[in-house]
Amino acid sequence: MRLGRIASPDGVAFVGIEGEPEIAREIAEHPFGTPTFTGRSWPLADVRILAPILATKVICIGKNYAAHIAEMGAEAPADPVIFLKPNTAIVGPNAPIMLPANASPVHHEGELAVVIGRPCKDVPAARAGDYILGYTIANDVSARDQQQADGQWTRAKGHDTFCPVGPWIVTDLDPADVAIRTEVNGVVRQQSRTSMMIHDVGAIVEWISAVMTLLPGDLILTGTPEGVGPIEDGDTVAITIDGIGTLSNPVVRKGQSTESVKGGT
């Protein structure tokens, strides 16, 4: 099943997306557990797709692909490295990534994202799937100069719009070995498979849940493969993961007009 969040003339709603042509069927209340449908629906082409979830927290994994670690001149960690992005960084498909005036270079980082479906703490890796609602796509946008200057990652990765997510959540994806590709203006920058992750989804959920309680809707970004690179005003970043779809966002330098750009949270 595909679960999403949309803005229609009737307001904002969680939806299930199905059919051909695609129809967005309104979910009552929330998408967790077994969704209940209200009976209202809209053609997907007639609504605006938002970020599929507004998480309580966004937990990210750094240094999880060996080739990316090598390109950054770092060493592979024995255990997962975790950091947080604020939920105010989340935006949906087609919403602009706003480049801060005082940050350069800013890099794209295409990633598989895990959406938590049930509250959990101290989850063994083998049972991680019991607590996962599904999977989506995320872009861990990063201001490299600020990352280097600060010696830690909060400011560099925490700017508003620095966590595009979407276009929807897929509940039946096997994340073990799917292709992930990032394009900027149609040119491939990143191309890998999730099987190349050092720490897989189960190990990641086990590690994080040993530290903090995970809540329904929380997002876990599982790390980015090699090929990260700069994005500039006027670019379009498109991240594709097999079995999910494509997350696309324009890039705008703060102070530039966004009147022609559609999108939102």
Q: What is the pLDDT of residue 263?
A: 56
Q: Are residues 246 and 119 in the same domain?
A: yes
Mean pLDDT for the chain overall: 94
Q: Are residues 40 and 165 in the same domain?
A: no
pLDDT tens digit sequence for 70-105: 887 888 888 999 999 999 999 999 999 999 999 999
Distances (CA, A) of 37 to 17, 30, 53, 244, 247: 12, 10, 18, 22, 26
- Is the pLDDT score of 257 beyond 60? no
- Is position 263 within any domain? no
- Is position 30 within any domain? yes
Q: Are residues 140 and 81 in the same domain?
A: yes
Give CA–CA dist 256/184, Å, rounded: 19
Average pLDDT over residues 36-42: 97
pLDDT band at 45 (very low <50, low <70, confident <90, very high): very high
Q: What is the pLDDT of residue 134?
A: 98
Q: Would you call 66 exposed, middle or buried from its count of C-beta atoms within 10 A (0-12, 13-18, 19+)? A: middle
E strand segments, the chain? 2-8, 11-18, 23-27, 37-43, 48-49, 58-62, 81-85, 90-91, 97-99, 106-108, 110-116, 132-139, 142-143, 163-170, 179-184, 187-193, 219-221, 229-230, 236-241, 245-253
Comparing C-alpha atoms, which of 46, 48, 14, 41 is closest to residue 29?
14
Q: Are residues 42 and 135 in the same domain?
A: no
Q: Are residues 46 and 172 in the same domain?
A: no
Q: What is the pLDDT of residue 256?
A: 56
Q: Are residues 206 and 96 in the same domain?
A: yes
Average pLDDT over residues 57-80: 89
Give this prediction's pTM: 0.95
Q: Are residues 199 and 96 in the same domain?
A: yes
Q: Are residues 11 and 106 in the same domain?
A: no
pLDDT tens digit sequence for 181-234: 999 999 999 999 999 999 999 999 999 999 999 999 999 999 999 999 999 999
Q: What is the pLDDT of residue 221?
A: 98
Give CA–CA dist 41/47, Å, rounded: 10
* CATH number reported for the structural domain that contains residue 35 in this entry: 2.30.30.370
Q: What is the pLDDT of residue 259?
A: 46
Q: How many CB atoms lie within 10 A of CB 245?
A: 17
Number of domains in the chain: 2
Amino acid in position 49: I
Q: Are residues 16 and 137 in the same domain?
A: no
Range in 31-45, 154-168, 245-259 the model is least confident about: 245-259
Q: What is the pLDDT of residue 75?
A: 83
Q: Are residues 8 and 88 in the same domain?
A: no
Average pLDDT over residues 119-138: 98
- Is position 261 within any domain? no
- Is position 151 within any domain? yes
Range in 174-178, 211-215, 256-260 the model is least confident about: 256-260
Give CA–CA dist 60/89, Å, rounded: 13
- Is position 259 within any domain? no
- Is position 201 within any domain? yes
Q: What is the pLDDT of residue 260?
A: 42
- Is the pLDDT score of 129 beyond 80? yes
- Is position 258 within any domain? no
Quick one: DSSP state of residue 197? Answer: B
- Is position 190 within any domain? yes
Q: What is the pLDDT of residue 261?
A: 47
- Domain encompassing residue 16: 2-50
Provide the percentage of residues in the chain whose pLDDT is more than 70: 97
Average pLDDT over residues 56-83: 90
- Is the pLDDT score of 262 beyond 80? no
- Provide the token pair at 206: 């086990």
Find out whether 251 and 237 touch, Cβ atoms under 8 Å.
Answer: yes
| 211 phi/psi in degrees, rounded to 5 | -95, -45
Residues 6+ apart with CB under 8 A from 19: none
Q: Are residues 45 and 129 in the same domain?
A: no
Sheet with 236-241, side-by-side order of all strands: 97-99, 245-253, 236-241, 179-184, 187-193
Give yes or no for a cis peptide into 167 (omega within 30° of 0).
yes
Q: Are residues 110 and 211 in the same domain?
A: yes
